[in-house]
């Protein structure tokens, strides 16, 4: 889902999940191998 941030730059949300009482914004950014460890659950 594309959007424009406060600085006017075009960005993209990887996944937006809407519920009746909340919204989840999932944005995945993976770089080198060290970054991958941060995102593992």
pLDDT by residue, tens only, the chain of 41 residues:
888 989 999 988 888 999 999 999 887 766 565 666 665 65
Confidence at residue 1, expressed as pLDDT on a 0 to 100 scale: 82
Confidence at residue 3, expressed as pLDDT on a 0 to 100 scale: 87
Domain that holds residue 13: 2-39
Find out whether 41 and 32 touch, Cβ atoms under 8 Å: no
Confidence at residue 11, expressed as pLDDT on a 0 to 100 scale: 86
Tally of structural domains, the chain: 1
| Torsion sign (Cα): 28, 29, 31, 33 | negative
- Angstrom distance (rounded) from CA 39 to CA 32: 12
| Whether the predicted model's global pTM rises above the 0.85 cut | no
Beta strands in the chain (DSSP E): 2-4, 10-12, 15-18, 23-26
Cα–Cα nearest to 2, from 18, 35, 14, 38: 14
């Amino acid at each position: 889902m594309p959007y424009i941030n406060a600085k006017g730059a075009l960005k993209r949300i990887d996944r937006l999940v809407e519920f009746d009482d909340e919204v989840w914004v999932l944005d995945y950014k993976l770089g080198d191998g060290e970054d991958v460890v941060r995102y593992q659950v």
